[in-house]
Structure 1
Amino acid sequence: MHTGLKVGIFATALAATFGSAYGVGKAVGPVMPAAPAAQHAGHTAQNGHTSGAAAPGGLQIAEGGYTLDLKTPAVTAGTPAELRFAVVDDRTGRPVTAYRRAHGKELHFIVASRDLTVFRHLHPRRAADGTWSTPVDLPTAGDYRVFADFAPDGAKEGLTLGADLAAAGAYRPAEAPRPAATAEVDGYRVTLDGALRPGEPGALTLRVTKDGKPVTDLQPYLGAYGHLVALRSGDLAYLHVHPNGEPGDGKTPAGPEISFTATAPSAGTYRLFLDFQHQGTVRTAAFTVRVAGAAGDAGAGHGAGADGAADGNHKGADGDHQEVGGDHQH
């Protein structure tokens, strides 16, 4: 196929996908605009999870005096590539080289497709000049969003910045995953209970079983028994939450349940991605959640559901969670 024709097909299909995504957003509730800058919807400094109403992260490429410079804005689907980026301090124009560590890392990096069917939680490495790099192999063509979740050394709050990434190739729109209460991945079943509510904290509990038996020996991964990322359908507003409790605190068991507290910024449809580690392998279970606008609205009730595991489940130390590329050792 000629390059021009291929690009034309991709652009037409992409426009159709955005149109359908907008329609879904209108059906389940409004997608709210981002709140003012300098508010972070990720974890708080004290307890590691969101609480109260907070502006969603990832909607802006620049915020709080910092800019995400994605040096690799396009890749080819199905072909291994290296993503390179930097976080630039707008006051100096130079890449940031000093960060506060959160859950063992200076920076957490997420790549997700606009249709929320592909998800990657990567751990790039930083070179001495502040440039980050990580390999990536995206399975399908289309539009993606990358998220850098970090806290510069000396900054009062953490930030999540986002940028667009294109994957060239023959694009085929995927159907939005339907809500369901369970997700299965590699013989594990994860059950989601609880509900997200707009503007106020909601409790979510995820229960992990294997072959019908509770998993009670989950392994710490990045200082926790599970990590949860939520993305809002349509604009891909980003929520990064962490469990209540942590390994070694004397009160948090190693499964089968992992509990979270999170606040949805608005009504709408969200995709939740849970990373958990067992027997040396990190896996990802994915859920679709619909958040009603208020009590009594259509769709109110349980509010949480899943439809299978995310594409790109992590396969242990050599998978997507491996630190790779660059020169700086974490």
Structure 2
Amino acid sequence: MNNALKITAFAAALAATFGTAYGVGRGVDPLVGAEDRPAGQHGGHGGGEEGGAVRAADGTPGGLQVSEGGYTLDLETPTVEAGARSRIRFAVKDGSGRKVTAYQREHGKELHFILASTDLTQYRHLHPVRAADGTWSTPVDLPEAGGYRVFADFTPAGADAENLTLGADLAVSGTYRPAALPAPRAVAEVDGYRVTLDGGLRAGRAGELKPSISRDGRPVTDLEPYLGAYGHLVALRSGDLAYLHVHPNEGGPGPVVSFTATAPTAGAYRLFLDFKHEGKVRTAAFTVQVGQASQDGGEHKESGERKESGAGEAAGHAH
């Protein structure tokens, strides 16, 4: 059988929609309570409950809903073509259908825009520009066809506003070649840099992730601030792309960037680490297998699975 399939925009949209629906339909376990979360982990890029994963008011992890809290992500460009330079346009609308034009700035930006393929092999951390009418736009060049998910991470203006992460499906037309989730490995290579991941995620409990960055066998000790931090980490759950964004703990500027995070459930997660050195932002990617928590508060891994860490390769980062 030929594994390459020709994907039309309509078929890719169906694949993205039903793929996400299947993940949501499997059910989502409750996240750890706010009182159990450590300092240093935040929902979104700076809002939400301190120490918690990005999540909706009903406990659903962030990014699984297109609407929440009276706001809706309106993806005006639901399809693009693989391998072609395209421009994605979108807006955040309030409960009256008006485009939002006022946001709180978090880490130097009003809104952070993440894009990932449903098989988690493609990733982009984009920086869209907002027009006066509230329409956001960003160029993008995606090499692979298939279903994608976009995430808008933002906090509306207002003293009582909460951080939100809304998600929507994007279809990329072209020749689609299904890809399996990369296997767990503890090392990622990107642009001559070697990133080694120590520590691990835990289901329902805080865990520390400690990526260490080196180049040519030497530790990188002069990482540069990027959006107000020495590193940014996004984790997406395989199957439904539940979104978990964490911030680094105190420390820096390298070679280790420490993060504290709590996985909502057991399962496979894809981690994307952004770091800046010598004026350029690079992204290292890992696959992490999170084991099921045991009754005594520990953790056990499923048969045939490794408890820790990542399959490493470069992932896209655009400005």
TM-score, structure 1 as length reference: 0.80
Match of 1:232 among 212, 233, 237: 237
Q: Report the equivalent of 1:89.
A: 94
Work out the CA distance in 2 between the residues paired with 1:31 and 1:169: 29
Q: Report the equivalent of 1:328.
A: none
Match of 1:213 among 212, 218, 223: 218
Q: Report the equivalent of 1:307.
A: 311
Q: Which runs of 4+ in 1 moved over 6 A?
A: none
**Pair 1:71 & 2:70 matched:** no
Show the 5 A alignment for 1:238-317: 238-245=243-250, 252-294=251-293, 295-298=299-302, 303-312=307-316, 314=317
SS in 1 for 2:264: coil
Work out the CA distance in 1 between the residues paired with 2:167 and 2:47: 21
SS in 1 for 2:153: strand
Structure 1 unaligned spans of 5+:
246-251, 315-319, 322-330
SS in 1 for 2:210: strand
Deviation digits for residues 170-229 of structure 1, max 9, x if unmatched?
111112100011101011011111111111211111100001100000000000000000
Show the 5 A alignment for 1:74-153: 74-90=79-95, 92-153=96-157
Structure 2 unaligned spans of 5+:
35-41, 294-298
Is the CA contact 2:182–2:311 (under 8 Å) kept in the aligned structure 1?
yes
Deviation digits for residues 71-90 of structure 1, max 9, x if unmatched?
00000000011000000001
What RMSD over aligned residues (CA atoms) do the two structures have, in Å? 3.0
Is the CA contact 1:274–1:286 (under 8 Å) kept in the aligned structure 2?
yes
Work out the CA distance in 2 between the residues paired with 1:47 and 1:215: 32
Deviation at 1:144, TM superposition (A): 0.3
Q: How many residues align?
A: 292
Change (3 A) 1:47 1:204: farther
Q: Report the equivalent of 1:326.
A: none
Is the CA contact 1:125–1:134 (under 8 Å) kept in the aligned structure 2?
yes
Deviation at 1:162, TM superposition (A): 0.2
Work out the CA distance in 1 between the residues paired with 2:235 and 2:192: 23
Q: Report the equivalent of 2:169.
A: 164
TM-score, structure 2 as length reference: 0.83
Work out the CA distance in 2 between the residues paired with 1:280 and 1:48: 30
Name which of structure 1's ranges 148-157 and 74-83 shifts more when overlaid on structure 2.
Answer: 148-157
Match of 2:65 among 36, 50, 60: 60
Change (3 A) 1:180 1:297: closer
Name which of structure 1's ranges 213-222 and 43-52 shifts more when overlaid on structure 2.
Answer: 43-52
Is the CA contact 1:205–1:260 (under 8 Å) kept in the aligned structure 2?
yes
Work out the CA distance in 2 between the residues paired with 1:119 and 1:170: 18
